[in-house]
Structure 1
Amino acid sequence: MKNKILGLALMCLVSQPLFAAPFAQPVIQGKTYNNWEVPILRSLGKPKSVVKGKPDECNGGYFPDEYDYGSFKLLDTGVIKEVYFSQNNALVFHGQKIRSGIDQKSFMQQFKKYELWTDAENKNVVYSGLAESGNDSIEFVFKNGKLLKYKLFFDDC
């Protein structure tokens, strides 16, 4: 009996990191991030442009500045905002790597068991929630039927 309990406890400890892993992991310039933050912005070089943050009516102050690197955008806090799919940019979504070129029908079929919904006004946009409670979400944008980019939305109000 002790061996069974010990074995069960050990199995739980070993498998815990597997269940704790985030179900959406961005891949930028070939590097996979386990959360939505790039730890050291200066390692990415100089952005192509910087958009100054507008006033934040909800929390006061200003929204973070947005750094545009061409194939992806980051906030000055290091949070990933938007990523275009390319040879070096992808997304690990529910353990499956999504690369550029997947069509919308195949995408919907491949991930149908997860909560996905199509935008009512724009059929080229598909959403998935990032949290069981709250309004955080990921937006998948398709162009000409092919996956173009994903955007992240975090509700901080």
Structure 2
Amino acid sequence: MKVKDLRGIETVEVEEINARHILIAPSIILSDEKAKTMLKGFREKLLAGEADFAELAKEHSADPGSALKGGELGWSEPSKYVADFRDALANLEIDEISQPVKTQYGWHLMQLLEKRVGDITEQRKEEKAYQLLFQRKFSEESDVWLREIRASAYIEVLPQQGE
């Protein structure tokens, strides 16, 4: 048997990026300007080859989820990041280190490691199936809940005054 053509199978591809960052969060002790200056210093050391990005992230980053991994965020869709972070990453070339970027979380120094186009067809199918099952179950449960509320409701009709 030889397959010549497939119909009705829709592939879903998305551009994913792998990046790393160092987050410095301003506080009462560390001013906004000082945080930015720290990251500029880190950038100069990195460009001069005097420091390692992963080591700086482990030592200084305020992001507990990525600091232990050398600042690596892993593969993900850019749309999952906040707008300022996403836009700064979009303007970087592979292995380029950004200028300090301000977001709602603080100041970031980021590096774009890789880009790829990922096939998430199976993941989308699973999400669609989950949503279908969830909607069906939700509808059934809400009907049961409404019936229970109606069954337990007690209504007493009182005569109107003057009758």
Q: TM-score range by the shorter chain?
A: under 0.3
Structure number with the higher strand fraction is 1
More contact order relative to length (CA 8 Å, sep ≥ 6): 2
Larger Rg: 2
Structure number with the higher helix fraction is 2
- Normalising by structure 2, report the TM-score: 0.26
- Normalising by structure 1, report the TM-score: 0.26
